Structure 1
Amino acid sequence: MRFGPSFQADATGFSLWAPSVEAVDIELQGRGRFAMVRNDEGWFSFRERCEAGTKYRFCLEDGLCFPDPASWRQSGGVHGWSVVVDPDAYRWQNPGWRGRPWREAVVYEAHAGLMGGFEGVRRRLPELARLGITAIELMPIGDFPGSRNWGYDGVLLYAPAEAYGTPEELKALIDAAHGLGMMVLLDVVYNHFGPDGNYLNRIASGFFHAEDHTPWGSAIAFDDPLVAGFFVQNALLWLNEYRFDGLRLDAVHAIRPAPALRRLGQAIRSGVSSDRQVHLVIENENNEAALLPEPFDAQWNDDFHHCIHVLLTNETDAYYADYETGTADKLARCLASGFAYQGEHSPNLQRPRGSPADDIPLTSFISFIHNHDQIGNRALGERLAQLAAPDAFRAAITLTLLCPHIPMIFMGDEFGSRSPFLFFTDHNAALAEAVRDGRRNEFRHFPAFQSEQDRSRIPDPNDEDTFRQSIPKPDNSGFDWSSFYRTLLSLRSRFVTPYLDGARTIEARALSDCSVMAAWRLGNASEWMLAANFGLVHLPFQPERDLHLLSPSVSSYGGSLPPQTTLAWMKLP
């Protein structure tokens, strides 16, 4: 048995794993209810000739009706009807696409809803391609309650969000990207379901371990092969049916038991044709080097971001406390071997964090100065463009785009947006109140939000205006952001990207408490060096080797790093 419908011209097969109940009916809209057949493992099945577009749902003896947990399309929200989809309805225009090597990735993280749905993203692709973006990463699109959500409240993980468009429109987006030589990645959430619209607890209680809690509720029972199979099948739907080029797995430290994560990655890889270049990325608070670069290509490197953020803002609240001292040394370690924490004690977590990463390829680390979490988890959703000095902000961007890690840009950064990225939802009234109060209470320990009046300034996630405020608007300072990004990404494409295979660190060190340098030997035996000064004064610095200055910031070098500047040098083999 498999999760979800199997569309055929002669008869569509429906299946549901519901071991906690004894009887299930399937209702076909306008055609009535039919009893499904149950086997000993709790699978219910039914076959009937159905055209694409047929609406269906499942019903229990107590009157509860609910959509297919593996619905491919929804009508009427996460409590509404599932819709039969013809997987061959879309005609691919670029069927020969096989992907791009991971070293060529320049990732652009995007929220489909803020960009106008799947069609809105598709319209932006040519502009982003001209900028030098090679991979679009969509925040989660599995259907969620209401019309506005970050995507991490998804409950129907197989169905592209109804608010964003149809399955065919999603395929057209991916097809168009491939036609422009761009990869498309998808953020998937396999560590929890959202709080509204998840019926699995009712029909398959064994899907969860009630005694094992995560920050979002009971842990998913990944030690059950059938439960793990639900997520493997979901991943392969996105990779094989929709032809995504890779997945980013959210918060994998909440996937338990620990060996299940490796098995999950291996199972996903084994289900994709070997002639395709498909990439798997993780977010992992634990910095587990043993997972890289197999079965996962790369990890989001929060350490890099946190070092940059502290250097540019001097903030040391919450997890930034881990970077309060020796910040430049920690940033240098990130540049050298990815993680700042490789087994050291984390004051924030009150435990050791990470493992040695010296032997991990530099391309196994995705570095960034923004992502949805690092902006959106702030009470007021400010970007660094609002918090940092403009020159220091651009120096941080330069370091990010030119270092040998895989760079990631958050939507709006490409035109210097100062718009906030706020936490937004569209929940029912009771849940909306709980989410609003919970969101505001999260910040009660922060000095700026200790009083109830101060916390009332935190935007209500369920207010539609919170969503509208989060739509990126271009910076109006007059700075040419497009030229800035194109220049940096062109430099990266010419001198760094082709030679990342086999690249290794020569040295990396702090030059002061607010500046760093790092040098790497690339795969073609050339040397690449960056020096970043986030301070306010010139810093004496003379490269010890015979390197040629190749930086968009200055045309000549007089032996000192200018304030709030990142410079690049190279030496050809």
Structure 2
Amino acid sequence: MTTTYAFPLPFGAALQADGTTRFRIWAPDVAALQLVIEQEAPVPMLPSSEGHFELTVPCIAGTRYAFVLPDGRRVPDPASRAQAGGPHDMSVVIDPRTYAWQTPGWRARPWHETVIYELHAGALGGYNGVRARLPYLAQLGVSAIELMPIGTFEGRRNWGYDGVLPFAPESAYGTVEELKALIDAAHAEDMMVFLDVVYNHFGPSGNYLASYASRFFDGTAQTPWGASLDFDEPCVRQYFIQNALYWLFEFRVDALRLDAVHAIGNDAFVQELATCVRDEIAARDPGRHAHLIFENEHNAAALLANTGAAQWNDDFHNSLHVLLTGERQGYYADFAEKPVAHLARALAEGFAYQGERVGRLDRPRGEPSSFLSPTSFVSFLQNHDQVGNRPFGDRLATQAHPAALRAAVALLLLCPQIPMLFMGEEWASDAPFLFFTDYRGALADAVREGRREEFARLGGDMRASVPDPNDPETFAASCLAPGEQNTLAADDWLSWYRGLIELRRTWIVPRLPGATSAGVEVLSPTALSARWRLNDGAVLAIVVNLGELGVATDTETLHPAGVTLCQTPPQAADALAEGSLRAHACVAWLEEPL
């Protein structure tokens, strides 16, 4: 059984049943607009309501087109489904129904089953390269892959957060149909596909919206990455809401991760988007799971409650990173004092910061979050930011003691929060993941110098040695080579990750809905014990020590009982039963209900 999917966007290029194509664009700043089809003369478009222009002409799939402004400039369709190259090239008419899906019965998976694997499509060989790795990822045990943003950007190399055409999959990674084939193949492996989307800014190159729709932007505000968007404007809200629905319905992605929600600066829009997603799923595909994830520095617990979304939990990462590495600069300074207490609160209540003043920001951060489910939080030891925003993109395996890292991985994969891995960490890859772009001229100079200036405060010759983001070798160094994991040391790490993920799937996942914290105790500056009551009354207990010294414990309160899920190092559970929590140790067990 196969079927096709097409989402009816109210703007952009839409093929009609009679062989024509309807073109529609919002351009309120201009009095006239023309449509140009490749190798044909421009044709005036017809003004319609609220600053829109539209025109229907004979046109087939594959046709290249652009819009012509009164000053003669050609601009791409801001809702382009595909580009003939990059954001400065012509847009392409797409027939979404040419791809025959092989998994039309797919309804995704419940959120509590999620184990995420974040990846960069370009660094894994494009859409087809990622597709080739799916059997390996299925064997690893992850239930979802998360693609870093794939909206069209300038050049051939980019993290994706500088995209300017969010409806057009980046052609450097492959074709639209190859992207759909990747998603289809993932579903055939019982694996969800999550997509990182950027709704808080446009990139610095290829964004022509200000030339004809200045109302898209809020002239009174800026984000760290460019002009702020005006979400009080209805057309702006609809542009991004339609983008979310487009990915969910036309590409069948299973979740969207909204980048830097704090930089959107409009929680009402975020709630409206979440409501539209929920309502459209209920109307168009009842019974299907569709998930939302936020990155939000504000730790806005109420927003999670109002939208049903989960959030990347930087507090979990930051406290663990300080414990594992001793680093205290930058945002790690907020966790440098008593990092184990921050970790304990993150495990018990979600956020470590719930309204307390943050010295680095000189303001309060966060809201009370203990009422939220543990599965409202996505936890991780590494991600693209926490690795790639380091001067040399060095991974945690090169910074932490291997035995301590092994214990931290067990905590990550067995605690009730939703775990996320970053590509390559499962075999302790030491390959860097660097910040890379593909700009030319003044913009390339600005990005390179800005990057180096950012790290100049570290002193010495650091400034000159930071890799140039535009150097092709910077990107090449960040790509994971096929077979890199085929070593004895890598296989040992892979076995550890696979085993823990299987333990989670078998013993913990079925009991996760409704799980609640049953308390966390700090045992030393490097150790803690945490307990959660699961939905069948069983208690999950995890005791971890990331320090180099053992810790004396109370054998009555920390005596492993029931089913021991894991222990590292070997015999750590026996030692704990005798009152000693070893250095670099993690012991997890499940106390079955009476």
**TM-score (normalised: structure 2):** 0.94
User: Corresponding residue for 2:429?
Assistant: 417
Q: CA deviation at 1:481?
A: 1.9
- Structure 2: distance between partners of 1:285 and 1:81: 37
Give secondary structure in 1 for the equivalent of 2:521.
Answer: strand
Q: Which moved more, 1:92-101 or 1:3-12?
A: 3-12
From 2, 17, 41, the equivalent of 2:10 is: 2
Is the Cα–Cα contact under 8 Å of residues 211 and 218 in structure 1 kept in the other structure?
no
1:463 paired residue among 471, 479, 483: 471
Alpha-carbon shift at residue 325 of structure 1 (Å): 0.6
Superposed CA deviations along residues 6-43 of structure 1, whole A, max 9, x for unmatched, are: 11242111011000111111111123211101124110
Q: 1:43 to 1:477 in 2, by over 3 A?
A: same
Given that 1:103 and 1:501 are in contact with CA atoms closer than 8 Å, whether structure 2 keeps it comes out as yes
* Distance in 2 of aligned mates of 1:388 and 1:492: 24
Note the C-alpha offset of 1:270.
2.1
Deviations 1:124-150 (A, max 9, x none): 011101111000000000000000000
Alignment equivalent of 2:91, drawn from 79, 82, 90: 82
Contact 2:560–2:589 (CA under 8 A) maintained in structure 1: no
Give yes or no for contact 1:282–1:296 (8 Å, CA) kept in 2: no
Residue of 478, 485, 495 corresponding to 2:489: 478
- Counterpart of 1:184? 193
Aligned to 1:499: 511
Pick one of 519, 523, 530 that aligns with 2:535.
Answer: 523
* Matches of 2:115 and 2:265, distance apart in 1: 31
After TM superposition, give the deviation of residue 321 of structure 1 in Å: 0.7
Give 3-state SS (helix, strand or coil) of 2:517's partner: strand
Q: Is 1:206 the equivalent of 2:215?
A: yes
Select which of 558, 561, 566 maps to 1:547: 561
Deviations, residues 385-416 of structure 1 (Å, cap 9, x unaligned): 01111111111111101100000000011221
- Determine helix, strand or coil for the equivalent of 1:363: helix
Q: CA deviation at 1:537?
A: 1.8
Alignment of 1:33-52 (within 5 A): 33-52=42-61
Give the conservation status (yes or no) of the 8 Å contact 2:120–2:147.
Answer: yes
Give the conservation status (yes or no) of the 8 Å contact 2:456–2:462.
no
State how far apart, in whole Å, the 2-side matches of 1:235 and 1:87 are: 16
1:558 deviates by: 2.2
Change (3 A) 1:97 1:294: farther
Distance 1:130 1:40 in 2: 53
- Is 1:220 aligned with 2:235? no
Structure 2 residue 44 is matched with structure 1 residue 32: no
User: How far apart in 2 are the matches of 1:566 and 1:126?
Assistant: 30
SS of alignment partner, residue 50 of structure 2:
coil
- Counting only pairs closer than 5 Å after superposition, residues 47-58 of structure 1 correspond to structure 2 as 47-58=56-67
Q: Distance in 1 between matches of 2:556 and 2:175?
A: 55
SS at match of 2:465: coil
Letter in 2 for 1:402: L
Partners of 1:438 and 1:103 in 2: how far apart?
40
User: Letter of the aligned partner of 1:254 in structure 2?
Assistant: A
Compute the displacement of 1:262 (Å). 1.5
Aligned to 2:591: 571
Answer whether contact 1:321 1:348 (CA < 8 A) is retained.
yes
Q: Match of 2:181, SS?
A: helix
Alpha-carbon distance between aligned partners in 2 of 1:558 and 1:386, rounded to the nearest angstrom: 29
In the TM superposition, what are the counterparts of 1:245-260 in structure 2 within 5 Å? 245-260=254-269
1:435 aligns with 2:444: no
On the 8 A contact 2:532/2:539 being kept in 1, the answer is: yes
Query: Are the equivalent residues in 1 in contact too, given 2:118–2:421 (CA < 8 A)?
Result: yes
Q: Distance in 2 between matches of 1:426 and 1:269?
A: 37
Aligned 8 A contact 2:267 2:303 in 1: no
Q: 2: distance between equivalents of 1:106 and 1:525?
A: 23
1:157 aligns with 2:166: yes
* Cα-to-partner distance string for 1:489-538 (whole Å, 9 max, x where unaligned): 01101111111111011111211101111001111111111111111122
1:487–1:552 contact (8 Å) kept in structure 2: no
Tell me, yes or no, if structure 1 residue 557 matches structure 2 residue 566.
no
Alignment-derived partner of residue 120 in structure 2: 111
Residue ranges of structure 1 left out of the alignment (5+ in a row): none
CA distance in 2, matches of 1:330, 1:570: 24
Q: Deviations over 1:47-87 (max 9, x none)?
A: 11211110001111211101101100001211001001011
Which one-letter code corresponds to 1:53 in the other structure?
G
Aligned length: 569
Matched, 1:239 2:259: no
For the 8 Å contact 1:293–1:361, the answer to whether it is kept is: no
Distance in 1, matches of 2:26 and 2:186, equals 36
Q: AA paired with 2:359? A: P
Instruction: Give the 4+ runs in structure 1 shifted more than 4 A.
Output: none
Are 1:70 and 2:42 an aligned pair?
no
Deviation for aligned residue 1:546: 6.2
Identify if the C-alpha distance between structure 1 residues 216 and 467 changes in structure 2 by more than 3 Å, giving closer, same or farther: same
Tell me if structure 2 keeps the 8 A contact 1:7–1:87: no
Residue 359 of structure 1 is matched in structure 2 by: 371
**1:386 equivalent in structure 2:** 398
Alignment-mate amino acid for residue 329 of structure 1: A
How far off its partner does 1:271 sit? 2.4
Tell me which of 352, 355, 360 is aligned to 1:340: 352
Q: Which amino acid is 1:571 matched to?
A: E
Aligned partner letter, 1:464: P
Distance 1:268 1:224 in 2: 19
- The alignment partner of 2:166 has SS state of strand
Note the C-alpha offset of 1:276: 1.0
Q: Determine helix, strand or coil for the equivalent of 1:558.
A: helix
Partner of 1:171: 180
C-alpha contact (below 8 Å) 1:145/1:426 kept by paired residues:
yes
Contact 2:455 2:462 in 1 (8 A): no
8 Å CA contact retained: 1:9, 1:49: no
* Cα pair 1:338 1:362 within 8 Å, conserved: yes
More moved, 243-252 vs 534-543: 534-543
Per mean C-alpha deviation after superposition, the further-off stretch among 475-484 and 34-43 is 475-484
Q: Does the CA-based 8 Å contact 1:514-1:534 persist in structure 2?
A: yes
Cα drift, residue 543 of structure 1: 5.6
User: Do the aligned partners of 1:185 and 1:246 also contact (CA within 8 Å) in 2?
Assistant: yes
Report if aligned partners of 1:208, 1:221 keep a CA contact under 8 Å in 2: yes
Q: Equivalent residue of 2:42, what SS?
A: strand
Report the alpha carbon displacement of residue 477 of structure 1 after superposing the two structures with TM: 6.3
For 2:361 and 2:561, the matched residues in 1 are separated by 42
Deviates more, 1:149-158 or 1:528-537: 528-537
Query: CA RMSD, aligned part only?
Result: 1.4
SS at match of 2:574: coil
